A and B are shown apart, each in its own frame.
Chain A
């Protein structure tokens, strides 16, 4: 069964703002799907539609076969949600917060405590378990939110900027954990972020959003092919003959267009035979950031 299916999903707010426009998409179980776009692109609204917090204006969506607009509590029973608006209680400790949410998810007291301890350890929060949440840093709060979302061993995780405010070490730890969940436990990850470099590290497929519309969807390779048919090769060399058609980009750095990776050895051979001196060769494929800008024509950096 497909994990998530969107059919012409649209959401217009009472004020008239069209936050999501005719979204058509489907996600397989165990996918790490990056839902990317700048602030205001409609990412958070989509998560709210998928969790039943908002009702669609037109179209529908299904999460593991369940319509969240009809049965939100059923969707909540097998999903975990992390968003910046979903906070926990400052007057409770990290452990007490997790125990409370474990009880909401129907775990027994013993199960809840055990699961909370396990997650706190995995996220390196064991030392802060007895501290009131009010004393937590932003990164620690974010990790605790992730622990909360994982309490009932969800089949689907909706993560809205899950690593914001975390230090690099924590980001690595969380990424490892998320990859393992997807790979070993088949958890589907619906990850919303405007940090394209971060998304490229962890996601297996991407959906690029702009002003509520899905601009493109696919794996990195599919998206790369969509924006440019071939690839670039960058060579640091001296005595490069003009006959090869390489363009000088910087001092000693030459660039050429090729259609496939297999053309690189031939190019190198030709260059050597014509008297060129090669120091390094690298194939350049467009990054997710470059793909996004190519698709939107946007000039500004997303962050």
Chain B
């Protein structure tokens, strides 16, 4: 990689860490989804395992895992079926916040024009910025996953005396679905960045990405669609294809005039 592109990525990383508001908004969603939410589920499941609603949900799980004890069943459902859906919000939110700050934020602060006067092609600038957003999104996702696992395992250990292994679906999420939807979120923000005058305005586009996640969550809770490894794989491949297409189109539409208008 060119030193200039590396410098841009490094600068965008620093921009996140040094901006308290941005940093806080990047942390809030992961903390809620990976620490608060699992803890509530674990504690609820431990103290009220006989809840009829919970029983109804557990009956929707595949028969292969129905043989486990009731508490184990609850925890399995939590870690491998409920949390993955919520977890997908992390890369979307992180990528959106980063992309909005990196593209529209620079335009708002009048630093984008200075960047465009550098001896880099627009494609190189685009690539460096997308890469910076993508890397931050992936980093936050991985740290969130590690934090979630740590919190969940610790709580389970103290409550039940045993731990729980994450299913293979997490591997698909971390390596395929999460990177793909990060890229989709970034490209949607970049498309908005030409029209948007403020960071908030540009983030509106990413809200539409949350809708499929909410639908997935509803599907999970009602039993309409269970997130098996195969469903996740299919979803991941589809998202990766969409991301690739969107990226190509966004890069083609990236002109000086559109960016600064």
Q: Which residues of A are interface residues toward B (Cβ below 8 A)? A: 51-55, 72-74, 76-77, 81, 83, 85-92, 100-101, 103-106, 108, 148, 152
Give the shortest distance, in Å, between B128 (CB) and chain A (any CB).
Answer: 10
Q: Apart from A73-B121, A85-B113, what 13 extra A-B contacts exist at CB < 8 Å?
A: A55-B257, A76-B120, A77-B119, A86-B113, A86-B114, A88-B111, A91-B18, A103-B3, A104-B120, A105-B119, A106-B2, A106-B3, A106-B119
Flag if A100 contacts B11 (CB, 8 Å): yes
Flag if B113 contacts A83 (CB, 8 Å): yes
A54 proximity list for chain B (CB < 8 A): 256-257
Nearest residue in A to B3 (C-beta to C-beta)? Answer: A103
A85 proximity list for chain B (CB < 8 A): 110, 113
Nearest residue in B to A80 (C-beta to C-beta)? Answer: B117
With contact pairs A53-B256, A85-B113 given, residues A101 and B19 touching in the complex (Cβ less than 8 Å): no
B257 proximity list for chain A (CB < 8 A): 53-55
B244 within 8 Å of A (CB atoms)? no
B260 within 8 Å of A (CB atoms)? yes
B110 proximity list for chain A (CB < 8 A): 85-87
The 8 closest A-B pairs by CB, nearest first: A103-B7, A77-B119, A104-B118, A87-B110, A86-B114, A76-B119, A91-B18, A104-B4
With contact pairs A53-B256, A55-B257 given, residues A106 and B117 touching in the complex (Cβ less than 8 Å): no
Q: For this complex, into which size category does the number of interface residues on chain B fall?
A: 20 to 34
A–B pairs, 6, beta carbons within 8 Å: A53-B116, A53-B117, A54-B257, A87-B114, A103-B4, A106-B3
Q: Which residues of B are interface residues toward A (Cβ below 8 A)? A: 2-4, 6-8, 11, 14-15, 18-19, 109-111, 113-121, 256-257, 260
Flag if A90 contacts B118 (CB, 8 Å): no
Complex formed: what's the CA distance from A182 to B63 in Å?
82
With contact pairs A87-B110, A89-B111 given, residues A52 and B256 touching in the complex (Cβ less than 8 Å): yes
Flag if B118 contacts A53 (CB, 8 Å): no
With contact pairs A105-B4, A106-B4 given, residues A89 and B119 touching in the complex (Cβ less than 8 Å): no
Nearest residue in B to A149 (C-beta to C-beta)? Answer: B117
Complex formed: what's the CA distance from A53 to B14 in Å?
27
Flag if B117 contacts A76 (CB, 8 Å): yes
With contact pairs A101-B118, A106-B119 given, residues A90 and B256 touching in the complex (Cβ less than 8 Å): no
Flag if A148 contacts B113 (CB, 8 Å): no
Flag if A148 contacts B114 (CB, 8 Å): yes
A86 proximity list for chain B (CB < 8 A): 110, 113-114, 117
Give the shortest distance, in Å, between B113 (CB) and chain A (any CB).
Answer: 5
Complex formed: what's the CA distance from A77 to B6 in Å?
18
A83 proximity list for chain B (CB < 8 A): 113
Give the shortest distance, in Å, between B16 (CB) and chain A (any CB).
Answer: 10
